[in-house]
A = this chain, B = another copy of it.
Amino acid sequence: MNLADSEPLDRVDRLPSWLINLTAVHSHRLVFAALTAAGAHGHHYRLLAALEQYGPASQADLGRRAGIDRSDVVAALNELAADHHVERTPDPADRRRNIVTITPDGARRLRRLDTVVSGVQDELLAPLSPADRDRLVDLLARLVRHHAKTD
């Protein structure tokens, strides 16, 4: 018996956690492909965005703001620094810390990635009207806020 087309799996196909997972897999594929084509990797965009928005910061603060684990911040900054998109300098006021600064090259890079990432959003949300897109973002933002508070 061959499956001409996948019939719906009733029990699971309207399961919120499963729909979220499927959507995330597709979304991740699109973002990853677009960033890879632009020569960037996962966390670079969020780190550069956090640096531009808040200015120079320690790695720990950067990680908290961008939602990236301390360990992964180190690796991503190594790559960004190798490409001269950020600079790491010791903090004279607290010698445990590095102060991370975005360079002019990094700012240009961020602008480039901004267009890449926003193109992906359009692709991802293609079937939704602008009003529906807002609704989806609001609903997801409420979930994220709720779970951020209750850790």
Q: Which residues of A contact B (CB under 8 A)?
A: 1-3, 6-7, 9-24, 26-28, 30-31, 45-46, 49-50, 52-54, 57-58, 61, 64-67, 114, 117, 120-121, 124-128, 132-133, 135-137, 139-148
Q: Are B139 and A64 in contact (CB under 8 A)?
A: no
A6 interface neighbour in B49, B58, B64, B133, Cβ under 8 Å = B64
Interface centre among A12, A20, A133 (most CB of B within 10 A): A20
CB neighbours (8 Å) of A132 from chain B are 139, 142
Assuming the contacts A135-B139, A139-B136, asked whether A7 and B65 have C-beta atoms less than 8 A apart, the reply is yes
Q: Are B120 and A17 in contact (CB under 8 A)?
A: yes
A21 interface neighbour in B27, B52, B128, Cβ under 8 Å = B27
CB neighbours (8 Å) of A143 from chain B are 23, 26, 124-125, 127-128
